[in-house]
Amino acid sequence: MKVLIIFVIGVTMMGIIGSASAMDHGDMLMDEKGMIMNANSDNLPRDCPKISENVDITIHAGHKHALKFTGKMFAFDQQEWNVKPCAKVNITFINDDQIRHQLMIHGLPGYLYPDGMFHLELYGEGQMQASLIVPSQKKTYLVHCELPQHMEKGMKAQLKVDGGDGDLPSIPGISEPVRADLYGVDWNQLSIAILLLCVLAGCAIPYFVIIYAQGGKNKIQKIFEKLKPKRKQDYNK
């Protein structure tokens, strides 16, 4: 009897822990690692008679991927992907940072993807996988992280279907920013004085280096001149 009670309690606890670690709320699946919203692996868009191709894409997110872009803090390892119309896209999303990152795709048909959105999110370093099926329309979809300042600081890309309908603005390395970052100088008396000091130092230092080098050369020549007569006298002896 005791064994049966322990078994029932154990099964109950496993069920509670399992439901807490992976909660399924319709179109949203989440656990302690992250969240998936609006994944779709088998429902065809209305304009797709069948899946045209299966595409496996691995997307890294993190600070180190932004180092190739001046002034950026976060980025994906790639900024553009191109797939066929009606393709099934299997995305493996990898977060290389210890902070939270998202991968969101906007503009998808709302009858399949609530709010037209596909969403992957990791609360820290790790990875997850989910799929979506794109419509047949020739279009460019926004891919980005919606956390504050992550997109503005570089975590933005584009998914093109059938070559897309153009480039989105402010895609690092692909298109010009809508509003470029400006690093202006607050000109005041102190900053002007520092600038003049730097200019004077830049002109004076090479001058003194040349004078010092010339003086050293003259000293060496004088030493050799003093040694030459002594060597002749020693030779005559």
In a domain, 176, yes or no: no
Residues pairing with 131 in the sheet:
90
CA angle 88, 39, 108 (to 5 degrees): 70
> What CATH number corresponds to the domain at position 57?
2.60.40.420
Per cent of the chain over pLDDT 70 is 77
The verdict on residue 77 lying in a domain is yes
- What span, in angstroms and rounded, lies between the C-alpha atoms of 195 and 197? 5
Asked whether residue 210 is domain-assigned, the answer is: yes
Is the predicted pLDDT of residue 35 greater than 90, yes or no? yes
Whether the pLDDT of residue 114 is over 90: the answer is: yes
Is residue 143 domain-shared with residue 200, that is, in the same domain? Answer: no
- Under 8 Å CB-to-CB from 84, ≥6 apart: which residues? 52, 53, 55, 161, 162
Per the structure, the complete domain to which residue 143 belongs is given by 21-161
Our CA dihedral for 114, 118, 124, 126, rounded to 10 degrees, sits at 130
- pLDDT single digits (tens) 212-236: 777 666 667 766 676 665 555 555 5
How far is residue 192 from each of residues 4, 39, 182, 187, 195, measured CA to CA in Å? 84, 58, 20, 7, 5
pLDDT of residue 89: 98
Q: State the pLDDT confidence band at 9, using cuts at 50, 70 and 90.
A: very low
Is residue 15 scored above 50 in pLDDT? no
Contacts of 171 (CB under 8 A, 6+ apart): 79, 80, 156, 157, 158
In this predicted structure, what is the pLDDT of residue 124? 97
Q: What is the mean pLDDT of the chain?
A: 85
Considering the domain architecture, whether residues 57 and 118 belong to the same structural domain is answered as: yes
Pair of tokens at residue 186: 């607050």
Long-range contacts of 225-234 (CB under 8 A, 24+ apart): none
Which residues in 21-106 belong to E strands, given as ranges? Answer: 22-25, 28-31, 34-37, 54-62, 75-76, 80-83, 88-95, 101-106
Residues 6+ apart with CB under 8 A from 98: 124, 125
DSSP 168: P
Pairing of strands 156-161, 80-83: parallel
Within this chain, do residues 155 and 189 fall inside the same structural domain, yes or no?
A: no
Question: What confidence tens digit (pLDDT) does each residue in 49-69 have?
Answer: 999 999 999 999 999 999 999
